[in-house]
C-alpha cells in the first residue's frame, strides 16, 4: 500500500498498487484535476518527504509539462502517478 498524506488538508489516503491514483484522489478534492492526461498541470503536487519509492518515475508527459528544476524539487503530476508498491509521501498541491 502507498500512503499519500496531504499536509494542507490533514488528509491521509491509502492506495493499493495498481489502483488508479486519479480515481482515488479526485473525489477527495485535495487537489484539482483537469485534463487527466498531463497537459494542463492542474493536478501538480509537490512531494515534500518520502516519496518516490513505490511510485513510477516521472513520465515523458511530466518532463514535457514540468521543468527539470520542478521535477528535481519533487513536483509530480498526480494524473501520471502509478503506485507500484509500498511507500509513503507527504505532499501538497503545487499551486
What 3-state DSSP class applies to 1?
coil
- CA–CA distance, 35 with 33 (Å, rounded to integer): 7
Report the CATH number of the 2-93 domain: 3.10.20.30
The string of pLDDT tens digits covering residues 44-76 is: 999 888 777 889 999 999 999 999 999 999 999
Task: Return the pLDDT at 80.
Answer: 94
**What is the model's pTM?**
0.89
Cα–Cα distance list, 34 to 31, 40, 54, 72, 80 (Å)? 10, 7, 24, 23, 12
SS3 34: coil
Q: Contact at 8 Å (CB) between 90 and 11?
A: no
Per-chain mean pLDDT for the chain: 89
Domain map (residue ranges) of the chain: 2-93
| Range name among 9-13, 18-22, 36-40 with the lowest pLDDT average | 18-22
Amino acid at each position: 500500500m502507498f500512503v499519500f498524506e496531504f499536509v494542507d488538508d490533514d488528509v491521509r489516503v491509502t492506495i493499493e498498487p495498481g489502483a488508479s491514483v486519479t480515481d482515488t484522489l479526485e473525489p477527495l478534492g485535495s487537489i484539482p484535476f483537469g485534463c487527466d492526461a498531463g497537459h494542463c498541470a492542474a493536478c501538480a503536487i509537490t512531494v515534500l518527504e518520502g516519496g518516490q519509492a513505490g511510485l513510477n518515475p516521472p513520465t515523458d508527459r511530466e518532463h514535457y509539462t514540468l521543468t527539470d528544476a520542478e521535477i528535481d524539487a519533487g513536483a509530480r503530476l498526480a494524473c501520471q502517478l502509478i503506485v507500484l508498491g509500498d511507500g509513503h509521501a507527504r505532499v501538497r498541491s503545487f499551486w
